[in-house]
Amino acid sequence: MSTQEQLNYYRIAEAISYLQENFKTQPDLDEVAKKVNLSPFHFQRLFTEWAGVSPKKFLQFLSLSYAKNILRDKQLTLFDVAFETGLSSTGRLHDLFVNIEGITPGEFKNGGTDLMVNYEYFPTAFGNLLIASTPKGICFMAFADDENRTFQELKQQFPQAKFTKQKDTIQEAALPIFNQNWSQKANIKLHLKGTAFQLKVWETLLKIPKGNFTTYGRIAKEIGHPNASRAVGSAIGDNPIAFLIPCHRVIQSSGNFGQYHWGQVRKSILLAWEASQVKNPSMDLFNTELDQTLNLLPYGGIVNYYGKIMPHSLANQYYESLLETIEWKQDEAIIFGKHILTKRKVAWYGDYNFEYTYSNVTKQALIWTKELLALKILVEEKSGEKYNSCLLNLYHSGDEGMAWHSDGEKDLKKNGAIASLSFGAERKFSFKHKSTKERISLVLENGSLLVMKDTTQTNWLHRLPPTKVISQPRINLTFRMMVEH
């Protein structure tokens, strides 16, 4: 985890804090970006890169209605919920591979006089982290906004232990969880000081699946002490292992997130981030802002037009950035044996160096830029589809267009979705049925999204007709799914 990602977290935390304090006035993107001293364009890009979803989507996971829906929808026991989530799912938490061993009275004799503790600080996506370990496992993990204060908390846990500032393999085994890397799941061991009751509560917390919440009362019932909610709350408050033992997933029965040892804002961000990473069926229950798009085609395919999916100012900034940062080249085609260069410029990007052949010319994809990756995430979120590549077209004026064609190359996923994102000049876009010749046209706006899917490419042609009326440039991004040979 880079220091830059850690700095990004503190900016995002400041933005989330501002939004929570001013939720009644519903601040817009421009206002929040100004608060963290960024342009709306850079704030949107930073946030999307960090969270994997747009700020608007992320905020849905911070809402009281979201929390209430999760609690109402999860009346099963924690064991049932974990089982329901599926053993192979990323929603299943790490209770299968985190081993807790209690520190024995003998090991803690005289405040841990013979205990050897290594500790080190690590940057993470949620801020600076102190991890301490004994030869048997991790004994302390805490977010360290103030390193000296956090180290003193560690010393209070083991007042007579011998401390060495040193990185070791036990500490490093826990770091992949911050990158959602579960490949080292057998390597995480915890060596904790706690009463039998506390250890039982902490082990129970491990059963809460990522993207879900529970309450103090439900934890009490789970461990067989239904009247011990207050004692459970105290044990959760004393949890010495941040994030890995997910005490942040315990909230108030009212749906309010409540307090957190490492900060209320950080708790909100952890919960919303986890919810955004997990495809949880419960999310659709409270998502009232899904795009209700109609099929523009009367038959033979599906075309959805979402209209503008971002503010005009943000669309303009993406337009300017794409003009400058994309490696534009004149398009090439071989038609009837003739090599042709078009005025229109193109570029192709993807997950890796795909080869793609059209008009008898083979092209190789470049790796995503930060801007394109942020836009890909936004388009996937809006369309509900996945894409692994993007073909970009730069039309310098209305004189440049695209003739009737369909995107049916063998390298493309058959009947897969193709998402068209437009920036710059508004242009007319037309469809024509291959058999009936019926035509349908619409105007693609700056910052708008159109998605073609199902049998559209089989039954319909489309084109961007040239026009003398428009003199401004237009950039079009078509996100698509390539077949991996």
Same fold: 3-60 with 64-283: yes
Cα separation, 470 vs 308, whole angstroms: 20
Q: Are 268 and 58 within 8 A, CB to CB?
A: no
CATH class of 64-283: mainly alpha
DSSP 74: -
In order, the DSSP letters of 432-478 are EETTT--EEEEEEPTTEEEEEETTHHHHEEEEE---SS--S-EEEEE
The pLDDT, as a whole number, for residue 82 is 43
Which spans in 278-346 are helix H?
A: 283-286, 312-325
**Domain limits of the chain?**
3-60, 64-283, 302-480
CATH architecture of the domain covering 3-60: Orthogonal Bundle (1.10)
Task: Return the closest-CA partner of residue 133 out of 167, 97, 99, 94.
Answer: 167
The pLDDT, as a whole number, for residue 180 is 56
The pLDDT, as a whole number, for residue 277 is 72
pTM reported for the whole predicted model = 0.57
Tokens 């911050």 -> residue: 178
Q: Diameter of the chain by CA atoms? A: 89
pLDDT per position in the chain (485 positions), as tens?
455 666 778 888 888 888 777 766 777 788 888 888 888 888 888 888 777 777 777 777 776 666 666 666 544 454 444 444 333 333 333 444 567 888 877 777 777 788 899 999 998 888 889 999 999 999 999 999 899 999 999 999 889 899 999 999 999 888 887 765 444 444 688 999 888 899 999 989 988 888 888 899 989 988 899 899 999 999 999 999 999 999 999 988 877 888 899 998 899 888 888 887 764 433 332 333 334 457 888 889 999 988 888 888 888 989 999 999 999 998 765 555 665 667 889 999 999 887 776 666 677 889 999 889 989 988 998 898 999 999 999 999 999 999 999 987 888 889 999 999 999 999 999 999 999 999 998 889 999 999 999 999 999 999 999 999 899 999 999 999 988 76
The pLDDT, as a whole number, for residue 14 is 86
Cα separation, 203 vs 85, whole angstroms: 18
CATH architecture of the domain covering 302-480: Sandwich (2.60)
The pLDDT, as a whole number, for residue 85 is 38
